[in-house]
Structure 1
């Protein structure tokens, strides 16, 4: 990982401070951490948050709780405005120690905008903060891990598939392309990523499909774009991996 930045949150009155950060399509903020807890959300566009090999895709109906001190990267698959809520740990009633997705409904979205005002009276701010805490409930969804490869032969395969998720060629073809046997590449994949080739490719495809779905593409279109022959095959793989349907995952 590149150098980690210690990034302080904006300061303000109260337990919650709201920061606003425009992100261009494809832009990612360097790995960093905050001394405060953070809730990352965007009213429009699709955010991505990465913690090590784990990625969360965040449409406007979903935000991610990031505990203080957790190193993460934040980016956008298309133009977005990151609205970050920062929570002082000693004034926060939540004790979540892992990154946790939460649902964002109309009321919470309105309160985030309300707390982002710089002319809000202290008593009004404290009342709004209390309601925000009441509205934060964890969502029962599994993040999609796509481990990076370090072995140059495995990395050559993973980089190709990341660039072209729809490539349906099998392990034999990729093994020949990097000059090893199928058996050797099978072993290298598990050793390097902790996953079989098929499992890694499934995770990669699902992660690549989520920004498309969050941006309004149909399941059939997203499935085809990442290499699935039918929407039903894509939905079945999504359920097996994540534990719910794409529609429910995206809220």
Structure 2
């Protein structure tokens, strides 16, 4: 599994622009035996865990069934809720963090035997059939022919999410990055721009100007994006929209739903229907 990111994504759609990533990390030993298409490893984390930056010879599909998992790769920070996997092309440097109680899976796929029609790091809908096939392949005895048939079906089910990607640029200035990290850690923090500015010895006007320069959006817009991203993770885990909106500091759920629609183009329910619709269309 597992590099310093410059943006945050939740669901990622394929892009025409190639991600630039300059980190140099040597790939490790092969994980898929020569005749097979794929293999899956299981990584339970009773305590919080961070794996060192690494790269693999194989393509990697990272997914989880419980807990919070993040992947830093290709200049972005990706969140991995239970309904989403993250596809990492062979040789991509990446770092993975998992919360206490998370169960993370790493499915490695042979780049020589598994050809895909997309490039870069993308989100993969982890529909139930795909999860069950990958686990069945890992846990059950079967003939070579049966295993290869199973693996081919699994590969056919791996298709990128094609909904809008939630991409949150991180500031490059260290002082601003400190503020950004605190907001990401607690999206409901309601400190004003002036209060954040005093924390790093700036005026509110200077903070706003620097933040716009570094990220391309205002601090207010950026905080909304972070809250929507945090909400998507909670809703994907099954938490009610009303409870999620209150956790993020919105007394009126309709205010949160309006902001969610402004960011994603959908209400929360419609957004997840669009993801599930793409997933089921691959069956």
Higher relative contact order (CA 8 A, sep 6+): 2
Give matches, 1:24-43, under 5 Å: 24=46, 26-43=48-65
1:99 Cα deviation (Å)?
Answer: 1.7
Q: 1:17 aligns with which of 24, 30, 39?
A: 39
Number of the residue aligned with 1:197: 219
Give the distance between the partners of 2:29 and 2:256, measured in 1 at CA: 41
Q: Which residue of 2 aligns with 1:65?
A: 87
Q: Deviations over 1:83-130 (max 9, x none)?
A: 221111111131321222222223212211121136332111110111
Which of the residues 195, 198, 208 maps onto 1:186?
Answer: 208
- Which residue of 157, 181, 205 corresponds with 1:159? 181
Task: Give the C-alpha shift of residue 225 in structure 1.
Answer: 1.8
Name the structure 1 match of 2:279: none
**What secondary structure is seen at the aligned counterpart in 1 of 2:162?**
coil
Matched, 1:246 2:268: yes
Q: Which range is displaced more, 205-214 or 81-90?
A: 205-214
Conserved 8 A contact 1:144-1:207: yes
Question: In the alignment, is residue 177 of structure 1 matched against residue 199 of structure 2?
Answer: yes
C-alpha separation in 2, matches of 1:18 and 1:185? 46
SS in 2 for 1:91: coil
Match of 2:136 in 1: 114
Q: 1:168 aligns with which of 187, 190, 203?
A: 190
**Number of paired residues?**
251
Q: Provide the rounded CA distance (Å) in 2 between the counterparts of 1:236 and 1:88.
A: 44
For residue 236 of structure 1, what is the aligned residue in structure 2?
258
For structure 2, the residue ranges without an aligned partner over 5 or more in a row are 5-22, 277-283
Q: Provide the secondary structure at the position in 2 that maps to 1:84.
A: strand
State how far apart, in whole Å, the 1-side matches of 2:178 and 2:64 are: 34
Match of 1:220 among 220, 242, 251: 242
Q: Contact (CA 8 Å) 2:32, 2:109: kept in 1 or not?
A: no
- Structure 1 pair 209/5, CA: closer, same or farther in 2 (3 Å)? farther
Q: Residue 212 of structure 1: SS of its match in structure 2?
A: helix
**1:36, CA displacement in angstroms?**
1.0
* Structure 1 residues 169 and 44, CA gap change in structure 2 (3 angstroms): closer
Q: Sort the Cα spacing of 1:67 and 1:226 in 2 relative to 1 into closer, same or farther, 3 A.
A: same
Distance 1:200 1:184, change over 3 A: same
Rounded Cα–Cα distance in structure 2 between residues aligned with 1:9 and 1:23 = 24
Per the alignment, do residues 133 and 73 of structure 1 end up closer, same or farther by CA in structure 2, a change over 3 Å counting? same
**Unaligned stretches of 5+ residues in structure 1:** none
What's the Cα RMSD here? 2.7
